[in-house]
A and B are shown apart, each in its own frame.
Chain A
Amino acid sequence: MGLLSDPNRRKALTNLLTRLNAPICMVCYLAAIVWFMGLAFEPFTLRTYMSENAMGSTMVEERFSSGERALSLAKEFDAHKRKAGGMPVEWLVKAMQARGLEVFTQSFSRKLPFPDENKERYMVRGTNVYGILRAPRAPRTEALVITAPCSPGNSDNQAVGLLLALAQYFRNQIFWAKDIIFLVNEHDLIGMQAWLEGYHHTNITGVKLKNYLMTQFHNWSIQAALSLELSSDVITSLDLILEGLNGQLPNLDLANLFYAFCQKLGVLCTIQGKLQRNDWDTAEGYTHAAQTMMLMVLKQACGRSWGDHGLFLRYHIEAASIRGINGFRHYKMDVATIGRLLEGMVRKLNNLLERLHQSYFFYLLPSLSRFVSIGYYMPAFGLLAVILLLRALDLWVNLGAPALEAVDGVTEAEQPSGPGVLTVLTPVVISHLTGVALYLLPVHLQEMAVEHFPVSETEAVVLTAVAIYTAGLALPHNTQRLLSGEGTEQGWKVLKLTALLYLAVLLGCTALINFSLGFVLAVTLVPITASMTPHMPKALSALAMVLLSPAFTILYCVFIYQELIEAPVSVGEGWMLFLSVISQGILDHALYGSLVYPLLALFIYPCWLMFWNILFWS
């Protein structure tokens, strides 16, 4: 600190910082990108290891062998599902009761804010059926959950069949120390949300569920949950899905457990649908790992639940989805093998003495056997955040400099603070009001929009959002004139200083909760916001700003994601996907409480508008 309290050295340091500000920022930005890309390079990452003692040292034997029974149950379930045109409640209740479970049902109904065109639903009515295997000699305090969805069409029948077969097998075992809940949920996440809210007796998404209280309610603290998706009789590989709501991830030990059993049983396992490669030292090997990691970053950044497990994470229940994939390989595995894998995982979870807490909660996975922990990836974000702070420091010094150099009067030094408050406050307030409009209006104005334009409700919502977003660009750059007349040089500097610090805080907080989202936003927002001044060529910089605005970030993410999953799309298709992503984002917020849409609409977009304001400062 002595360095800074000595005015001479302090001056030298600030001079250095202001003089070298632009190069330092550039170096930081490049370093951040390089650091981030380096995370996928195998020698820089750690090998995964099981941290939890209770799961590591205890060996379990897998003996599940009723694969045939699972398949015949799946066929039966399919037939009854078709007959009932939805969840075959009666059949399922009987089937579970016959296997010695205590069976309960929960019916729910829900009206979406606007029709979901991807899944074609608006008024949702459904029933969850769940059976409980009571652990012998256990006091009903802990439980594990295994879920399988009741999906329309042909999918996921085998998952339900396997679930029932496992229930039957598990029921005859004596070693259970935790109750096991077998849940078949209807309408995927909506059913899951209904079940979880009923279970925890809360109502957090603010929507009334019709049949709220579960009859015969019992309380356990759920230790872990596994969600099963299986649509074919044989599979070639199993995919593990970890990303949950708001980018939450389960404890890494759950992924390790899955990987350990895949290794033990010789099952091919993938993450993000990508197999692991061993040739890390070749370019292809590295690209493969980088793609896997990028996919994880994109999936996590979008903040939605990528499987039925995603909603459990909010309740501090470690959960993952396991999806069976039937590809074009020769080597196929039957249902009994998957059953054995699940048996092994559940038995090890059954051995847990404490909740899973030993391993990491914040990580990125370039492959199933390698992980990047928070300590390794945070510097990449830190380097980006430092740019904002450096620019802010530069501005601060700039703003303070005339005051220091002023010899003859106090008037000049006090000048910026006078109009400063007002010039800064007006654009800030107006930008945020635009953000509030973007958050509230699309859903609330849909009826009006449908009346006046020939569009469906969903289109109305999305197009209103796009319209408000675009209208926001036209609005604020004239605002400060309204109040204070001519914008001063001091004025925009104060505004930019505020905006920079605001953005730094916003991105910092976001990155702490959801690193991927924070990083993706920082990569696109930082360069343009750091360099923005009113003195740049208007048309060119306006174009650059728009191209790096949050909405375009989403658009790029859509394209990159499609590229990474090897399903590239044309511009037109990309645009349609972009629109559906927006509608899904709004729906996720309304249905499950995903926070990405409000974050973007209420904070990031207004913050970006403030910079837009600076560009048109006059």
Chain B
Amino acid sequence: CQPHPGSFQEELVIRPLHSGDIYASFQFRTLWDTDFLQEGQKKVSHYRLFPKSLGQVLSKFSVQELHISFTQGFWRTMQWGQPFIPSPPGAELWVWFHDTVSDVDGNWKELTNVLSGIFCASLNFIDMTNTVQPSASFKPLGLGNATDHRFLRYATLPREIVCTENLTPWKKLLPCGSKAGLAVLMKSEKLFHSSFHSQAVHIRPICQQCTSKAWELRQTLNVVFDHYTSGQGKKEWSLFKMFSRTLTEACPLASSSKVYVDITDNPELFELSPATPLLSQAVVLGDRRTYSVYDLTRAETFGQLRSFNLLLRWKGDSGDMLRPLLHAERYVAGFGLQTGEIHTVIYNNHPYRAFPVLLMDSVPWYLQLYIHTLTVTSKSRDNKPSYIHYQPAKDRHRPHLLEMLIQLPPHSMTEVTVQFERALLKWTEYTPDPNHGFYVGSSVVSALVPSMVAMSTNFTQDQPLFSSFVPVKEESSYFVRVYTEPLLVNLPTPDFSMPYNVICLTCTVVAVGYGSFYNLLTRTFQVDEPSPPLAKRLANFIRRIRGVPLLA
């Protein structure tokens, strides 16, 4: 049997942001024209570009589609615009299983544990108390139109800290590792000296010229550098300043290796050197953007010095950014440790178009939602969701899941509020640092946002990777997913220290003491005379008849 060919593409997009910060997005795509899930076919054991560790996991657990992301920081939509691929703070994992799987929960549990080992992350903390099955928010992105959400599992770990230990295994999945190609730029001391860091792995089956099914592995890494802390306040960026490395070659295994720089705002905003004659246009997130393209497979890109270093210099102050059309945020209102109210605010900044959004909230069981207090208001008027899917929590077993389809009026702010009560945990259920608070994962807003320009619906090979991740089904709109901030909620927490024990003890003593004292104070005591002996009683009887004083 001939080994199946695969292909590998790598790409770096640099987008200068209006604030003076810079957004760098790496994408690596490995394609493999084989279907190792297909039954009857003999087990695939020869891997070339596709990482074997992932391939084995996919086939063992019959995974249809897998998306995992690790993010440190929060994407500031209002300053940075929309990211190419959004992700919530912490770790996020969602998996579609093949519809032949009988024990989905069992597979899910094992899969999370295996992934935990592969990515050096605490994914093993995913269990039934933080896993949900969204009914509409997470559709498969690849081939196959599975709609039965019994085969979908979604979980987030908002507390997960992402660091170099997660980056190293992620880099090892690349065919060239960090030895050659764009991956040489990924030095952790620079990647983690940034405002935002997110790395992700997306695996899905796609249609390869629609003759056969192919597996696509996309590894993305997004990072935003801050011009105050990394750039010493100067709005001047170069590859070397960002990554403390320059590029010298493409990955030899890559069929394409390109660097794109977003120059849509050029020449007003910044100047770019070295200049390149190659320009490319792409429609990304409802906007037509122009990119300078540097092809690393061509020797002239590297020039005389055999090294490629991009230089971007801001010319003046940049104007204000266009407000992103969709934006969401969330907070807890109220104070004290008994009740509270979760507010989710969704902004539609489109001047004249209304569009529907799907809001998904997964709230841990220890916040007991009062679902009858759920209100949705836009423009101070009640906004009735056209679809509500609510699954109440079970204490210690299952989180709340709330999904709603809400129509956002044009140029409006929609507020979703729901009240909750904080549960009192058992003392073994508190985390080792209970006074830090408990996290509630981000809510997810998914929407088809009306596009300003026509989106291209045909899916071609030479499209840049960043514009081809989410399949576009219609020209007039594009898909956006927005994550809100996670919440940090304080639960009523005992002191867990010596005074706490003292208080418990004192209360017990006081309770016991109070009981006895109350008893003593309210009762009257009388000396109970022991009954006199028979002789005395007889004597008294006779004396009473005689009318003589009785004997004492």
Contact = CB atoms under 8 A, between A and B. Distances in A.
Interface of A: 1, 4-8, 10, 100, 102, 134, 136-142, 171-174, 200-202, 216-221, 314-316, 353-355, 357-358, 396, 404
Contacts of A357: 435, 495
Given A218-B329, A219-B332, A221-B488, A404 B74 contact: no
Q: In terms of DSSP, what is the predominant structure of the interface of chain B? A: loop
B89 A139 contact: yes
B527 A139 contact: no
B488 A315 contact: no
Interface residues of B, number: 53
Given A174-B193, A217-B345, A219-B487, A138 B73 contact: yes
Contacts of A134: 76, 195
Given A136-B73, A136-B226, A404-B524, A219 B331 contact: yes
Interface in B29-81: 72-74, 76, 78-79
A353 B434 CA distance: 10
Contacts, number: 107
A202 B194 contact: no
A5 B497 CA distance: 38
Nearest to A315: B335
A7 B233 CA distance: 86
B520 A137 contact: no
A358 B194 CA distance: 33
15 contacts: A7-B526, A7-B527, A136-B195, A136-B226, A137-B194, A137-B195, A141-B488, A171-B229, A201-B334, A201-B341, A202-B333, A217-B345, A220-B488, A221-B489, A355-B490
B187 to A, nearest CB: 16
Contacts of A8: 527
A1 B488 contact: no
Contacts of B195: 134, 136-137
B392 interface: no
B439 interface: yes
Interface in B458-508: 485-490, 495, 497
B453 to A, nearest CB: 28
Given A100-B228, A172-B233, A354-B435, A5 B520 contact: yes
A141 B486 contact: yes
Interface string B316-340: 0000000000000111111110000
Contacts of B76: 134
A10 B517 CA distance: 12
A7 B73 contact: no
Contact of A353 (B232, B433, B497): B433
B273 interface: no
Interface of B: 72-74, 76, 78-79, 89-90, 158, 192-197, 226, 228-230, 232-233, 329-336, 341, 343, 345, 433-437, 439, 485-490, 495, 497, 516, 520-521, 524-527
A226 B178 CA distance: 46
Contact of A221 (B89, B333, B434, B490): B490
Nearest to B161: A137
Contacts of B90: 139
A353 to B, nearest CB: 6
Given A137-B73, A172-B232, A200-B333, 4 more contacts: A5-B520, A200-B335, A220-B488, A221-B437
A51 B73 CA distance: 30
Which of A134, A141, A202, A220 has the most chain B CB atoms inside 10 A of its CB? A141
Given A100-B228, A172-B229, A140 B485 contact: yes
A137 to B, nearest CB: 4
A315 B90 CA distance: 27
Contacts of A202: 333-335
A596 B195 CA distance: 47
Given A5-B525, A7-B527, A173-B229, A201 B333 contact: yes
A576 B490 CA distance: 45
B439 to A, nearest CB: 7
A139 B74 contact: yes
Contacts of A201: 331, 333-334, 341, 343
A141 B490 CA distance: 12
Which of A4, A137, A221 has the most chain B CB atoms inside 10 A of its CB? A137
Nearest to A201: B333
A404 B526 CA distance: 10
A140 B226 contact: no
Given A172-B233, A221-B490, A404-B524, A139 B436 contact: no
A6 B520 CA distance: 10
B74 A140 contact: yes
Contact of B194 (A136, A314, A315, A354): A136
Contacts of A102: 79
Contacts of B89: 139-140
